[in-house]
Chain A
């Protein structure tokens, strides 16, 4: 157990809301003083607001507040974070340093494009490196997150069929039952009907069911490869052929790109487009749930519909091209998540041609190692080598000991580890989805596996230890039902209680 982590969290003072620390007249920043003549605000602005209930605290009190909050928050730099499907790899510090350079951080998105040649060079550089890695013809960095990238891909497909006059007819998007929830939600957001495709016993796409679902009403198949079961789809070329045979498109959900970097290219598999999560595969920080960063790759037949601006080389120059008559338009206000692109660029250049494949090779090595070490206590959902994550089932503990995957996860917190993803994919009972990533040492993996083995022993011998977990944190298990029933989503000033 990580004693240091337990110590820190248990000895924490009870956190108070910043509003309860407010004292009239204090301020936490040396605000710039204006040296222009004073004005009558009412005369200039019209009706002014009366009350403004923002905290009044000094700078040191504020910093203590956030430092204390940080102590009750677990990040990758706190410890091992094997959250499946999220690729919680190390976020190199050099990336933060380069993204903070004033020549990147202090750029206004509407300053003349002629004054940002360096920024365009970064954008084109990331695009070109991602083209090499994914095997697609084009990359755009406009989408702001993974789900936003999925949606943008579907918009490109929609625009493509609109140009072909087939949009009315093609109203269905096929989504495997193992897919991330964002896939069907993105399809619905683009006005498509969603039809699920089952997964077969081996963990692959059910080809018969797929064949039965394919007809002229299908616009696209959204496929995650490797799948959310952590398995590479061995029939991928055949699947793409089948979909193309009815004139539909194949989208690749790139959440699991970390298994493929430098080893295999989705563009070669037959996909027409894909999204990437630069915050997963290419190490931009997850930031507590964002900013995400969602590049997309596509084949040349979808290129005319790219969102604007299209950043591209033209002879010796790099342009931001807006003259795109068939473009779907803008999907975001400016140039995408630019400072995240600077981080991704930095990361890609640190690996370079020589070492890029090391990413996927060690991600897959680590996942298979965890799988091998745990298979006796937590059997893998499928008897095949996994890719960058392993999907294990805790079903027998539920049946025999009344212990669920969630209980195992909560107990892991007491051992100083962040839990894996639970209950996803939905088709595996009592699922634990473990993605170690390539940046973890064998020692860390061993400590984690030892803890898991110990927890599985506890599940049999002292199951209540798991039911009551976690007991090491500032709070025990929280009542999520009460949170919905008695909704409390903000603080109210005392006199305004509602």
Chain B
């Protein structure tokens, strides 16, 4: 076995040094009735490397992948260009095969990169600071909500109906297990959150920016409503949109979370992703997850980086920790770091601007082709269409023409059975949008 380098001589010499005759003797503390003989488990046979690759290649070909279709599907995960440099950096063994930087002197490379990640995440969101990342956008939001219940000492959270339905489902699960009530603020009529009355006594108010329908929420009103209820204000924000939009921090958000996938992370059927988590500095001691800080040598002047505020964490604080989180998503955070640097100020703005432009063009073309806009809200790169035919059937028909048209919303919202959620990123061309419009027209005819 190539991954196990032992020769027969190695094994013999090692057993002699240990003072036993066989490897089996080393397992003598396991009761005999609990042991299984090597090679007897119900498993498929081993494959050599070329056969292994061929086998996985065969399986992968059964999927319809986005290299084969034109993607207008978003809903929280976006088909954005990933610069070649991202893969080159994150596949370096020094990064890929390291672990949590418990030994900072030998981990300065990663620690500095995460410090840069924290800086740029906080910058995009307009916040004081960010942590070293979370599992994904959904769990980041759930952790933020739970953090607010600890700070406000309240057992209820309020979340907009226009927050990603899967995020709300994760929130429900987390809150159920902690005995926290979740109320949903209506948004389905206007496409934006417009009634905060249920949020009374909540620890937080959560809205998404742009929201699940693509609409740009009025954060100033949301902030005022949260204040009126004595609640913290949490925003789930798309970091790419924040390259153009006034960032949530400038509206006074207390915590901003989001999915970092649009910044350099492969879609990969939704995993691994990278959760973003930023907040005001007054809350730094309550935040979950790792934080990297800059310091200097104990007996010298050179600057260096360490994991800091470690006393919040589970390995030190155990049941009193701010969260049970142990890992962050360092590798994906590194991918996003490379992305944010590669695009930089100008590139991020260009990507966001192109997305807006393409989206406006798509709205024009698709509404001419027989669809209607559901809401009259401002949108960034995503919008809801009303179709005169069943959106599931329309989507399936378009998929046969090589177009992944979007997400039918009937499964998520009652009253939206005729709706399709469409996203248009910077990658879509005029030609592709025209193709989508004419195919839609044909399907609707």
Q: Is there a chain B Cβ closer than 8 Å to A301's Cβ? A: no
Given the known interface contacts A268-B34, A350-B52, A354-B46, the answer about A339 and B272 at a Cβ–Cβ threshold of 8 Å is yes
- Asked if A290 and B109 sit within 8 Å, CB to CB, the answer is no
Stretch at the interface among A94-102, A242-250, A393-401: A94-102
Most chain B CB inside 10 Å of its own CB: which residue of A97, A236, A348, A488: A488
Q: Which of A89-122 contact B (CB under 8 A)?
A: 89-92, 94, 96-99, 101-112, 115-119, 121-122
Q: Which residue of A lies closest to B71 (CB)?
A: A108
Given the known interface contacts A146-B327, A237-B31, A353-B46, the answer about A488 and B93 at a Cβ–Cβ threshold of 8 Å is no
Q: Give bound CA distance, A33 to B85, whole Å.
A: 19
Chain A interfacial residues counted at CB < 8 A:
202
User: A407: shortest Cβ distance to chain B, in Å?
Assistant: 13
Q: In the assembled complex, which residues on chain B have CB atoms less than 8 Å from the CB atom of A10?
A: none
Stretch at the interface among A188-196, A208-216, A453-461: A188-196
Q: In the assembled complex, which residues on chain A have CB atoms less than 8 Å from the CB atom of B429?
A: 35
Given the known interface contacts A118-B62, A237-B34, A480-B306, the answer about A333 and B167 at a Cβ–Cβ threshold of 8 Å is yes
Q: In the assembled complex, which residues on chain A have CB atoms less than 8 Å from the CB atom of B132?
A: 289
Q: Is there a chain A Cβ closer than 8 Å to B419's Cβ? A: no
- Asked if A288 and B100 sit within 8 Å, CB to CB, the answer is yes
Q: Give bound CA distance, A186 to B315, whole Å.
A: 11
Q: Give bound CA distance, A490 to B121, whole Å.
A: 10
Q: In the assembled complex, which residues on chain B have CB atoms less than 8 Å from the CB atom of A334?
A: 77, 166, 269-271
Q: Which of B294-309 contact A (CB under 8 A)?
A: 294-300, 302-306, 308-309
Most chain B CB inside 10 Å of its own CB: which residue of A101, A106, A293, A373: A106
- Asked if A287 and B245 sit within 8 Å, CB to CB, the answer is no
User: A102: shortest Cβ distance to chain B, in Å?
Assistant: 5
Q: Is there a chain A Cβ closer than 8 Å to B378's Cβ? A: yes
Q: Is there a chain A Cβ closer than 8 Å to B445's Cβ? A: no
Q: Give bound CA distance, A332 to B134, whole Å.
A: 12
Q: In the assembled complex, which residues on chain B have CB atoms less than 8 Å from the CB atom of A92?
A: 3
- Asked if A34 and B320 sit within 8 Å, CB to CB, the answer is no
- Asked if B38 and A189 sit within 8 Å, CB to CB, the answer is no
- Asked if A286 and B97 sit within 8 Å, CB to CB, the answer is yes
Q: Is there a chain A Cβ closer than 8 Å to B253's Cβ? A: no
Q: Is there a chain B Cβ closer than 8 Å to A17's Cβ? A: yes
Q: Is there a chain A Cβ closer than 8 Å to B247's Cβ? A: yes
Q: Which of B328-381 contact A (CB under 8 A)?
A: 328-332, 334, 338, 340-351, 353-354, 356-358, 360-361, 378, 380
Q: Which of A456-485 contact B (CB under 8 A)?
A: 468, 470, 473-480, 482-484
- Asked if A119 and B63 sit within 8 Å, CB to CB, the answer is yes
In the complex, which of the residues B52, B63, B354 contacts A349, with contact meaning CB atoms closer than 8 Å? B52
Cβ contacts A277-296/B at 8 Å (1 or 0 each):
00100010111111111000
- Asked if B91 and A46 sit within 8 Å, CB to CB, the answer is no
- Asked if B295 and A480 sit within 8 Å, CB to CB, the answer is yes
A-B contacts at CB below 8 angstroms, number = 690
User: B22: shortest Cβ distance to chain A, in Å?
Assistant: 10
Q: In the assembled complex, which residues on chain B have CB atoms less than 8 Å from the CB atom of A48?
A: 244-246
Given the known interface contacts A44-B360, A109-B77, A289-B290, the answer about A102 and B308 at a Cβ–Cβ threshold of 8 Å is no
Q: Is there a chain B Cβ closer than 8 Å to A300's Cβ? A: no
Q: Is there a chain A Cβ closer than 8 Å to B227's Cβ? A: no
Q: Is there a chain A Cβ closer than 8 Å to B433's Cβ? A: yes
Cβ contacts B12-31/A at 8 Å (1 or 0 each):
01110111100101111111
Q: Is there a chain B Cβ closer than 8 Å to A380's Cβ? A: no
Given the known interface contacts A268-B34, A482-B296, A483-B293, the answer about A116 and B358 at a Cβ–Cβ threshold of 8 Å is no
Q: Is there a chain A Cβ closer than 8 Å to B6's Cβ? A: yes
Q: Which residue of B lies closest to A266 (CB)?
A: B34
Q: Is there a chain A Cβ closer than 8 Å to B420's Cβ? A: no
Q: Is there a chain A Cβ closer than 8 Å to B173's Cβ? A: yes
In the complex, which of the residues A65, A98, A385 contacts B29, with contact meaning CB atoms closer than 8 Å? A385
Q: Is there a chain B Cβ closer than 8 Å to A221's Cβ? A: no
Q: Give bound CA distance, A223 to B259, whole Å.
A: 34
Q: Is there a chain B Cβ closer than 8 Å to A316's Cβ? A: no
Q: Give bound CA distance, A109 to B272, whole Å.
A: 11
Chain B interfacial residues counted at CB < 8 A:
203
Q: Is there a chain B Cβ closer than 8 Å to A431's Cβ? A: no
- Asked if B345 and A53 sit within 8 Å, CB to CB, the answer is yes
Q: Give bound CA distance, A91 to B380, whole Å.
A: 40
- Asked if A489 and B115 sit within 8 Å, CB to CB, the answer is yes
In the complex, which of the residues B119, B267, B319, B356 contacts A44, with contact meaning CB atoms closer than 8 Å? B356
Given the known interface contacts A37-B361, A145-B327, the answer about A285 and B5 at a Cβ–Cβ threshold of 8 Å is no
Q: In the assembled complex, which residues on chain A have CB atoms less than 8 Å from the CB atom of B133?
A: 290
Q: Give bound CA distance, A328 to B169, whole Å.
A: 10
Most chain A CB inside 10 Å of its own CB: which residue of B76, B122, B342, B426: B342
Q: Which of A340-367 contact B (CB under 8 A)?
A: 340, 342, 345-346, 348-359, 361-362, 364-366
Q: In the assembled complex, which residues on chain B have CB atoms less than 8 Å from the CB atom of A47?
A: 245-246
Q: Is there a chain B Cβ closer than 8 Å to A298's Cβ? A: no
Q: Is there a chain A Cβ closer than 8 Å to B258's Cβ? A: no
In the complex, which of the residues A75, A116, A265 contacts B269, with contact meaning CB atoms closer than 8 Å? A116
Q: In the assembled complex, which residues on chain A have CB atoms less than 8 Å from the CB atom of B135?
A: 144-145, 148, 290-292, 332
Given the known interface contacts A77-B97, A129-B44, A263-B38, the answer about A19 and B119 at a Cβ–Cβ threshold of 8 Å is yes
Q: In the assembled complex, which residues on chain A have CB atoms less than 8 Å from the CB atom of B4?
A: 358-359, 362, 438-439
- Asked if B295 and A482 sit within 8 Å, CB to CB, the answer is yes
Q: Give bound CA distance, A107 to B62, whole Å.
A: 12
Q: Which residue of B lies closest to A16 (CB)?
A: B112
- Asked if A75 and B96 sit within 8 Å, CB to CB, the answer is yes
Q: In the assembled complex, which residues on chain A have CB atoms less than 8 Å from the CB atom of B342?
A: 27-29, 59, 62
- Asked if B26 and A364 sit within 8 Å, CB to CB, the answer is yes
In the complex, which of the residues B103, B308, B309, B358 contacts A34, with contact meaning CB atoms closer than 8 Å? B358
Q: Is there a chain B Cβ closer than 8 Å to A304's Cβ? A: no
- Asked if A264 and B30 sit within 8 Å, CB to CB, the answer is yes
Q: In the assembled complex, which residues on chain B have CB atoms less than 8 Å from the CB atom of A289?
A: 98-101, 110, 132, 290, 327-328, 330
Q: Which of B107-140 contact A (CB under 8 A)?
A: 107-110, 112-113, 115-116, 118-120, 122-124, 126, 128-130, 132-133, 135-139
Contacts beyond the supplied A36-B360, A372-B17: 18 A-B pairs with Cβ under 8 Å: A17-B116, A49-B245, A77-B97, A104-B269, A108-B270, A118-B62, A129-B44, A182-B326, A269-B34, A285-B331, A330-B166, A334-B269, A372-B19, A424-B315, A439-B4, A478-B304, A489-B115, A490-B118
Question: What are 26 A-B contacts with C-beta separation under 8 Å?
Answer: A17-B116, A45-B356, A45-B378, A46-B378, A54-B344, A77-B94, A86-B99, A94-B53, A105-B266, A111-B66, A185-B318, A188-B321, A189-B324, A265-B34, A289-B100, A292-B326, A331-B170, A332-B136, A332-B139, A333-B137, A385-B29, A413-B106, A442-B6, A473-B106, A474-B304, A475-B108
The 7 A-B residue pairs whose C-beta atoms are closest, nearest first, are: A103-B60, A334-B270, A352-B46, A109-B270, A287-B331, A77-B93, A73-B109
